[in-house]
């Protein structure tokens, strides 16, 4: 049955599968061991705060406006929070610790009611100098925050210098302090 | 006690695999050829031992032994029995043990029954099989021991991912595994044949039932997986070109090509090199698939199975086995003599054409799946979806199906165009009429239109091999081919119809509200709580009336699981002969109305009926082949027995 006619061997083609396989290996090794940066870094860093003027969210603290950040002076933290947000409760002791070390913190309460904010601050402490009430998340979206809590480092000229996504943990405090120092 | 026993037999089985490899390899040298006698019994014993280890693990899961880490992490005493059982392989360690079990049982089975191959090729095959199993033994024993005990028994188990607590999914992974592992046997046959330079019809006939078996299971696995995604994920789609779906499709494409080239090699002693290469490629694709799923290198809906260190282990195995086999292939392929020749118009050449098309689709799917990795390496994030896969694979699939319509009526070796005029003209005419009708009446998009036109022509063409045959005396494999090809036509019709005619309705409804969805009038009657064995749910009562007929009641649910916590939508389906109504209960809106989602999908079940037909075709072919092999074996034994008696 078999035709014994001599014919040139398949030549280099027989190495093609091995070559393709080597290419595949190289690709997945790169993908597996040099994973791309998966951190979401904000496009707003280095940009000035957008203009806003929020009414107070609490009876004993003033509201929050962009102008207040541009008065010069030392860098401040801008904390985006809400009374209905569980991680914000977890974050409260860290904010208190930062405030105790002399860090000035402003808050933006997202989609919240005055009485709920008051209850939250009463139960978990109030580290804020000013608290703005952002009922429609307009300011939150304008500064590039996608959730609560988030914390921004704003320098004396009102420029966003750092964005911390999620709650500030105990181990994040040195990082926040460093970012504040860098923003001097 | 059971856990320790399981671990002990697992170690013994691994030791036997070492023996099987070493004795097999040594026996290929003339000086130590007597070692060959050890290999078969060792392979059988190894299979039995590892099956005992797997049985031990099943026992631990069924009795919910919470002192075993794996059980505590993946099971729960309140789980229904069937999910306790499925929990055995619904996790990484258990699924790897299942993989090795199926693999070693299959190897033992080959050792027990295979008598056609030259003995040294068979021994080389078994040694290759032991080599592959050893990697998985190492993986299990060194990096993912399923029998580890906890220092203190856990008070209660953590449960199984709610998405996996589904009867269809309980059997989806084992089905795919049997497919993958069957391909590992084909791989070992290919390696054995390369080692002994013995590639011929005997090799193809020995390999074919394994390829067929693997292919049947892969077909079933993919079909069932697609249906599971369709009704569980609640998106109304049946195929998402998700990396994990692609991971199961790629071995299927390679196995389909291998199956057909295997037939050519068995019948005509042609396509020798090509068949061996496909044998290696098919198993490579199952390993690549496993790697892509387990390593988490690509994000997908199956992200629950992810672990990067395990990915590294599988990658290492992949590099050793596939790299080694392809190296061997490169070294030996040029020494494999060329097989029989054939003319341009012949069944062989049509099968070669379709093999190339299948490999083309395989390449497209592989490139599309890996493309995000490629661009990410260059710093861009891209994902590739249906707009790439659908048209590009159609470029290969459409010519392939046209050739597939003709191929079965072509003669081996050489044919004349004039002989098959009618067999070409009839299906072509059917397709042309269908195309015109579809275009004039519905005018859908290009791809669905082509699919709707091609499907009836292909259906007619696929039964043509039966024309003029004595149906009683037609061999089973011919029926298998006819039904398999018909299944492809049926599935194609379902896919095209779903693409062309689906209607979707998204509505916020109060109880009492009605909506028109295609020919259905659906009414939301009520929403209330229901409780299941380990879940609670909100259940909607929806009545659906087809074209004014008596309404049928549907119950879509939004289920909440407690152990572990999670949610799942349970869509409700109403199947008619001409399509399916699909209902999903969504969230409650601010105004108290409920988000309801409905689809009317004409002929969509054809997709899965088609898949089942393809698998049935494979099963008939397999039964036919096995029956013939058994007959032959019995005949050979009889002759041997007679000779023995005469000798005395």
Neighbouring C-beta atoms of residue B510, cutoff 10 Å: 11
B394 secondary structure, DSSP code = H
- Interface size A-B, in CB pairs within 8 Å, comes to 76
Domain of A98?
A: 53-182
In a domain? residue A57: yes
Which pLDDT does position A10 carry in this prediction?
A: 58
A107-116, A151-160, B347-356, B374-383 — which is least confidently predicted?
B374-383
Query: Are B51 and B10 contacting, i.e. CB atoms less than 8 angstroms apart?
Result: no
In a domain? residue A28: no
Which of A4, A8, A17 is most worth mutating to test chain B (most B CB atoms within 10 A of its CB)? A17
Compute the nearest-CA separation of A40 from chain B (Å). Answer: 13
A61-65, B175-179, B585-589 — which is least confidently predicted?
B585-589
Which residue from B333, B323, B248 is spatially nearest to B285, judged by alpha carbons?
A: B248
CB–CB contact A1 B268 (8 Å): yes
Residues B433-456, mean pLDDT to the nearest whole number? 91
Which pLDDT does position B164 carry in this prediction?
A: 66
Among all residues of chain A, which has the CA nearest to that of B291? A28
pLDDT surpassing 50 at residue A38? no
Among all residues of chain A, which has the CA nearest to that of B267? A1
Strand partners, A162: A153
A83-92, B225-234, B379-388, B491-500 — which is least confidently predicted?
B379-388
Which of B314, B329, B333 is most worth mutating to test chain A (most A CB atoms within 10 A of its CB)? B333
Please write the tens of the pLDDT for every residue from B222-243. Answer: 998 899 888 877 777 889 888 8
In a domain? residue A39: no
Which pLDDT does position B383 carry in this prediction?
A: 65
Question: pLDDT band at B244, cuts 50/70/90?
Answer: confident
Residues B110-136, mean pLDDT to the nearest whole number? 90
Question: Left if phi > 0, otherwise alpha if psi is -120 to 50, otherwise beta: which for B236?
Answer: left
Which pLDDT does position B81 carry in this prediction?
A: 84
The H or E element spanning position B60 is helix B36-62
Query: Are B177 and B171 contacting, i.e. CB atoms less than 8 angstroms apart?
Result: no
**Residue among A5, A10, A28 whose CB faces B373 most closely:** A28
CB-based contact (8 Å) between B301 and chain A? no
Q: Which chain B residues contact residue A40 at CB under 8 A?
A: none
Among all residues of chain B, which has the CA nearest to that of A2? B340
Please write the tens of the pLDDT for every residue from B456-490. Answer: 999 999 999 998 888 888 999 999 999 999 999 99
Which pLDDT does position B212 carry in this prediction?
A: 95
Which of B320, B338, B381 is most worth mutating to test chain A (most A CB atoms within 10 A of its CB)? B338
Burial (CB count <10 Å: 0-12, 13-18, 19+), residue B126: buried
Compute the nearest-CA separation of B206 from chain A (Å). Answer: 19
In a domain? residue A108: yes
Among all chains, which residue has been given the structure tokens 């349970």? B570
CB–CB contact B297 A25 (8 Å): no
Q: What's the mean pLDDT when you consider all of chain A?
A: 82
pLDDT surpassing 60 at residue A8? no
Q: Which chain A residues contact residue B281 at CB under 8 A?
A: 17
| CATH assignment at residue A108 | 3.40.30.10
Tell me how far CA of residue B161 lies from CA of A144, B166, B168, B305, B311, in angstroms: 34, 10, 14, 11, 21
In a domain? residue A18: no
pLDDT surpassing 60 at residue B21? yes
**Residue among B277, B284, B340 whose CB faces A2 most closely:** B340
CB–CB contact A32 B308 (8 Å): yes
In a domain? residue A155: yes
Q: Where are the beta strands (DSSP E) in A18-104?
A: 53-54, 64-65, 76-81
Percent of chain A at pLDDT > 70 equals 89
Question: pLDDT band at B374, cuts 50/70/90?
Answer: confident
Domain count, chain A: 1
Q: Which chain A residues contact residue B288 at CB under 8 A?
A: 24
Residues B152-171, mean pLDDT to the nearest whole number? 74
Q: Which chain B residues contact residue A9 at CB under 8 A?
A: 334
Neighbouring C-beta atoms of residue B512, cutoff 10 Å: 9
CA distance B10 to B133: 12
CA distance B408 to B406: 6
Strand partners, B568: B559
Which pLDDT does position A175 carry in this prediction?
A: 86
Which pLDDT does position B320 carry in this prediction?
A: 93
Please write the tens of the pLDDT for every residue from B260-279. Answer: 999 999 999 888 899 999 99
Compute the nearest-CA separation of B246 from chain A (Å). Answer: 16
If one compares B533 and B51, the residue with the highest pLDDT of the two is B51
Query: Are B539 and B529 contacting, i.e. CB atoms less than 8 angstroms apart?
Result: yes
Burial (CB count <10 Å: 0-12, 13-18, 19+), residue B106: buried
CB-based contact (8 Å) between B330 and chain A? yes
Which pLDDT does position B379 carry in this prediction?
A: 63
CA distance A64 to B368: 50
Query: Are B434 and B364 contacting, i.e. CB atoms less than 8 angstroms apart?
Result: no
CA distance B501 to B197: 54
Among all residues of chain A, which has the CA nearest to that of B268? A1
Residues A91-107, mean pLDDT to the nearest whole number? 90
A1-10, B398-407, B518-527, B592-601 — which is least confidently predicted?
A1-10
Q: Which chain A residues contact residue B308 at CB under 8 A?
A: 32
Q: What's the mean pLDDT when you consider all of chain B?
A: 88
CB-based contact (8 Å) between B377 and chain A? yes
The H or E element spanning position A167 is none
How many residues belong to chain B? 648
pLDDT surpassing 70 at residue B435? yes
Which pLDDT does position B350 carry in this prediction?
A: 94
Question: pLDDT band at A3, cuts 50/70/90?
Answer: very low
Which pLDDT does position B301 carry in this prediction?
A: 41
CA distance B18 to B487: 43
Please write the tens of the pLDDT for every residue from B62-88. Answer: 998 888 988 888 888 877 888 888 888
Q: Are strands B566-570 and B579-588 parallel, antiparallel or unpaired?
A: unpaired
CA distance B38 to A12: 39
CB–CB contact A32 B295 (8 Å): yes
- Per-residue burial over B454-493, b if 16 or more Cβ lie within 10 Å, else e, is bbbbbbbbbebbeeeeeeeeeebbbbbbbbbbbbbbbbbb
- CA B438, B442, B446, B451 torsion-angle sign: negative
Question: pLDDT band at A37, cuts 50/70/90?
Answer: very low
CA distance B628 to B294: 40
In three-state secondary structure terms, A153 is strand
Percent of chain B at pLDDT > 70 equals 94
Q: Which chain A residues contact residue B284 at CB under 8 A?
A: 21
Secondary structure string (H, E, C) spanning B97-153: HHHHHHHHHHHHHHHHHCCCCCHHHHHHHHHHHHHHHHHHHHHHHHHCCCCCECCCC
If one compares A28 and B137, the residue with the highest pLDDT of the two is B137
CB-based contact (8 Å) between B452 and chain A? no
Compute the nearest-CA separation of B541 from chain A (Å). Answer: 33
Q: Which chain A residues contact residue B334 at CB under 8 A?
A: 9-11, 14
Instruction: Please give the torsion angle defined by the CA atoms of residues B6, B7, B12 and B15, in that order, rounded to the nearest 10 degrees.
Output: 140
Which pLDDT does position B377 carry in this prediction?
A: 67
Q: Which chain B residues contact residue A7 at CB under 8 A?
A: 338
**Residue among B311, B340, B373 whose CB faces A27 most closely:** B373
CB–CB contact A18 B323 (8 Å): yes
pLDDT surpassing 70 at residue B437? yes
Which pLDDT does position A51 carry in this prediction?
A: 86
If one compares B10 and A16, the residue with the highest pLDDT of the two is B10
Among all residues of chain B, which has the CA nearest to that of A31? B373
Compute the nearest-CA separation of B5 from chain A (Å). Answer: 36
CA distance B298 to B602: 33
Query: Are B600 and B518 contacting, i.e. CB atoms less than 8 angstroms apart?
Result: yes
Angle formed at CA A85 by CA A81 and CA A91, multiple of 5 degrees: 65
The H or E element spanning position A84 is none
Q: Which chain A residues contact residue B341 at CB under 8 A?
A: 3, 5
Query: Are A79 and A126 contacting, i.e. CB atoms less than 8 angstroms apart?
Result: no
Compute the nearest-CA separation of A155 from chain B (Å). Answer: 31
CB–CB contact A2 B337 (8 Å): yes
Compute the nearest-CA separation of A138 from chain B (Å). Answer: 20
Residues B271-295, mean pLDDT to the nearest whole number? 89
Among all chains, which residue has been given the structure tokens 């409760």? A89
Query: Are B296 and B287 contacting, i.e. CB atoms less than 8 angstroms apart?
Result: no
CB–CB contact B370 A27 (8 Å): yes
CB–CB contact A21 B277 (8 Å): no
Compute the nearest-CA separation of B424 from chain A (Å). Answer: 30
pLDDT surpassing 50 at residue A35? yes
In a domain? residue A32: no
* DSSP calls for B600-643: EEETTTHHHHHHHHHHHHHHHHHHHHHHHHHHHHHHHHHHHHHH
If one compares A90 and B211, the residue with the highest pLDDT of the two is B211
Residues A30-36, mean pLDDT to the nearest whole number? 67
If one compares A89 and B10, the residue with the highest pLDDT of the two is B10
pLDDT surpassing 80 at residue B510? yes
CA distance B205 to B624: 13
Among all residues of chain B, which has the CA nearest to that of A10? B334
In a domain? residue A130: yes
Which pLDDT does position B305 carry in this prediction?
A: 45
Predicted TM-score (pTM) of the model is: 0.80
Percent of chain B at pLDDT > 90 equals 50
Burial (CB count <10 Å: 0-12, 13-18, 19+), residue B399: middle
CA distance B229 to B211: 26
- Per-residue burial over A126-153, b if 16 or more Cβ lie within 10 Å, else e, is bbbbbbbbbeeeebbeebbbeebbbbbb
Question: pLDDT band at A140, cuts 50/70/90?
Answer: confident
């Amino acid at each position: 049955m078999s035709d014994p006619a001599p014919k040139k061997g398949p030549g280099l083609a027989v190495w093609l599968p091995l070559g393709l396989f080597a290419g595949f290996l190289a690709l997945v090794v790169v993908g597996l061991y040099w994973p791309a940066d998966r951190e979401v870094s904000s496009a707003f860093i280095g940009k000035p705060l957008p203009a806003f003027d929020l009414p107070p969210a609490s009876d004993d603290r003033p509201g929050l406006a962009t102008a207040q950040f541009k008065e010069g002076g030392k860098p401040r933290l801008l904390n985006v929070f809400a009374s209905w947000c569980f991680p914000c409760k977890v974050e409260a002791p860290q904010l208190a610790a930062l405030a105790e070390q002399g860090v000035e913190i402003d808050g933006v309460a997202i989609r919240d009611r005055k009485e709920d904010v008051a209850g939250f601050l009463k139960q978990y402490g109030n580290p804020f100098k000013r608290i703005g009430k952002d009922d429609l998340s307009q300011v939150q979206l304008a500064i590039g925050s996608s959730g609560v809590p988030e914390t921004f480092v704003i320098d004396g000229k009102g420029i966003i210098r750092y964005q911390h996504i999620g709650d500030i943990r105990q181990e994040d405090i040195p990082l926040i302090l460093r970012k504040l120092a860098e923003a001097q | 006690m059971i856990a320790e026993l399981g671990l002990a037999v697992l170690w013994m089985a691994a030791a036997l695999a070492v023996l099987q490899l070493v004795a097999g390899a040594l026996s290929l040298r003339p000086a130590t050829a007597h070692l060959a006698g050890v290999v078969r019994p060792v392979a059988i014993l190894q299979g039995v031992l590892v099956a005992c280890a797997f049985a031990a693990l099943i026992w631990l899961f069924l009795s919910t032994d919470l002192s075993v880490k794996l059980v505590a992490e993946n099971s729960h005493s309140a789980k229904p029995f069937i999910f306790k059982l499925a929990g055995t392989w619904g996790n990484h360690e258990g699924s790897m043990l299942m993989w090795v079990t199926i693999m070693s049982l299959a190897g033992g089975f080959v050792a027990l029954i295979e008598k056609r191959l030259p003995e040294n090729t068979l021994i080389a095959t078994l040694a290759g099989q032991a080599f592959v199993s050893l990697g998985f033994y190492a993986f299990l024993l060194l990096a993912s021991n399923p029998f580890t005990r906890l220092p203190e028994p856990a008070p209660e188990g953590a449960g199984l991912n709610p998405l996996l607590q589904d009867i269809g999914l309980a059997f989806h992974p084992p089905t795919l595994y049997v497919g993958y592992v069957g391909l590992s046997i084909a791989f070992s046959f290919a390696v054995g044949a390369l080692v002994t330079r013995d590639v011929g019809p005997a090799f193809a006939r020995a390999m074919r039932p394994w390829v067929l078996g693997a292919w049947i299971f892969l077909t079933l696995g993919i079909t069932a997986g697609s249906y599971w995604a369709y009704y569980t994920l609640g998106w109304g789609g049946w195929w998402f070109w998700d990396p994990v779906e692609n991971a199961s499709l790629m071995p299927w494409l390679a196995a389909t090509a291998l199956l057909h080239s295997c037939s050519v090699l068995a019948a005509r002693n042609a396509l020798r090199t090509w068949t061996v290469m496909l044998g290696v490629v098919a198993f490579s694709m199952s390993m690549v698939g496993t790697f892509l799923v387990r390593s988490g290198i690509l994000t997908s809906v199956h992200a629950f199975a992810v672990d990067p260190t395990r990915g590294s282990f599988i990658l290492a195995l992949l590099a050793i086995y596939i790299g080694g086999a392809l190296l061997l292939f490169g070294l030996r392929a040029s020494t494999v003599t060329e097989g029989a020749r054939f003319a341009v118009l012949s069944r062989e050449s049509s099968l070669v054409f379709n093999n190339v098309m299948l490999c083309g689709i395989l390449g497209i799917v592989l490139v599309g799946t890996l493309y995000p990795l490629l661009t990410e390496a260059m710093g861009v994030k891209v994902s590739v979806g249906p707009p790439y896969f659908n048209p590009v694979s159609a470029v290969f699939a459409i010519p392939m199906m046209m050739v597939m319509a003709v191929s079965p009526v072509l003669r081996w070796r050489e044919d004349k165009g004039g002989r098959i005029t009618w067999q070409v003209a009839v299906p072509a005419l059917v397709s042309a009429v269908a195309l015109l009708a579809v275009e004039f009446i519905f005018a859908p998009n290009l791809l669905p239109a082509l699919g709707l036109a091609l499907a009836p022509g292909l259906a007619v063409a696929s039964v043509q091999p039966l024309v003029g045959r004595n149906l009683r005396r037609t061999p089973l494999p011919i029926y298998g081919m006819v039904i398999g090809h018909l299944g492809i036509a049926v599935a194609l019709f379902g896919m095209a119809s779903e693409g062309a005619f689906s209607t979707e309705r998204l509505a916020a409804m109060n109880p009492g509200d009605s909506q028109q969805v295609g020919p259905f009038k659906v009414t939301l009657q009520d929403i209330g709580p229901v409780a299941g064995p380990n879940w609670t749910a909100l259940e909607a009562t929806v009545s659906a009336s087809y074209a004014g007929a008596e309404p049928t009641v549907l119950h879509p649910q939004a289920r909440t699981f407690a152990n572990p916590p999670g949610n799942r939508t349970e869509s409700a389906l109403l199947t008619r002969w001409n399509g399916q109504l699909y209902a999903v209960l969504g969230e409650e809106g601010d105004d108290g109305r409920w988000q309801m989602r409905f689809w009317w999908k004409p002929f969509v079940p054809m997709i899965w009926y088609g898949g089942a037909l393809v698998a049935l075709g494979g099963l008939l072919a397999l039964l036919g082949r096995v029956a013939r092999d058994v007959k032959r074996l019995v005949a050979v034994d009889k002759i041997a027995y007679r000779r023995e008696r005469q000798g005395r």
